[in-house]
A = this chain, B = another copy of it.
Amino acid sequence: MEYVLADHQYGKAETRLVRIYRDTARHQIRDLNVSTCLRGNFADAYLYGDQAKVLPTDSQKNTAYAFALEHGVTDIETYALALAKHFADDIEPVHAARVEVDEYAWDRVQVAAGDHPHAFVRGSQEVRTATATAEGRGREQRVWILSGLQDLVLLKSTGSEFAGFLQDRYTTLAETHDRVLATSLTARWRHKRTDADWNAINASIRQVLIEQFATVHSLALQQTLWQMGKAVLAAHADIAEIRLSAPNKHHFLVDLSPFGLDNRGEVFHADDRPYGLIQCAVERDDAPPAGPVWDSPNLFAG
């Protein structure tokens, strides 16, 4: 019997990089968190401590910074793809590279004269994400791009029901036909294309998601997610698939009757934990294969 080195990968996580465009007096800013992850022929490093094929994670960090200057960051998809292709093309032991980029939003400060040219205020806590994966090199190379968002916190104060559910021995929940529905959405969508106006496409998809959440009368968070996903595919022919993960952030109606008060959907306790967690993938029936893009980057389930 032998022990086998199975899956393995390594990289540099969470390089916090800010790119300023200052070619004109009206500056622009891209505020990123970049993680690179390489797969390939690194067994000797594990088995024998031999680093000859290991590009230091410090070099990967340097590359992220250098590419931000040389290639710029017009959008995080293009930037992530350039990095992923570079590692797969130029670092011989690398078989596949995965680059994940989070972007934090900044709004331009408004002053009396209008937009300020070089002052910014952090926008929403929502994070825009992109993942580029490149496998192989040169003409054999295949690439995939995911875009996404996380911590998009949505709430509707009516238009949500939950009733007619399965009951078992442990069921005590009352049915409701009017509840608060709130979530902190994480979404990832897989593009068919590898070159596009990513900023415009993603802004449009975000708006579709929000509008569906708002306007679909919800019989369950499951149904809301399906409608959100389907609407994205319907509006964007170049999206192969979308995956949605939505905690059900419970808002419990507070019983004020002991104080002689009638609380008709007006005062809620926003609970921290536990929360429901509803997830689904919606895809076209003719979607191209996803390759490795949905593999967990942590080797773990969880």
Contacts and interface: CB of A to CB of B under 8 A. Distances in A.
Contact of A27 (B20, B122, B158, B277): B158
A25 to B, nearest CB: 9
Query: 4 closest pairs, A vs B, by CB?
Result: A49-B219, A119-B214, A122-B153, A49-B223
B13 A275 contact: yes
Contacts of A29: 155, 157
A59 interface: yes
A156 B118 contact: yes
Contacts of A56: 162, 165-166, 171, 173
Interface residues of A, number: 160
Interface in A109-142: 109-112, 116, 118-126, 129, 131
Given A223-B46, A281-B7, A165 B51 contact: yes
A12 B31 CA distance: 24
Interface in A203-231: 207, 210-211, 213-215, 218-220, 222-223, 225-226, 229-230
Interface in A182-220: 186, 188, 207, 210-211, 213-215, 218-220
A47 B226 contact: yes
A2 B284 contact: yes
A4 B282 contact: yes
A14 to B, nearest CB: 4
Contacts of A111: 211, 214-215
A8 B280 contact: yes
A276 B168 CA distance: 36
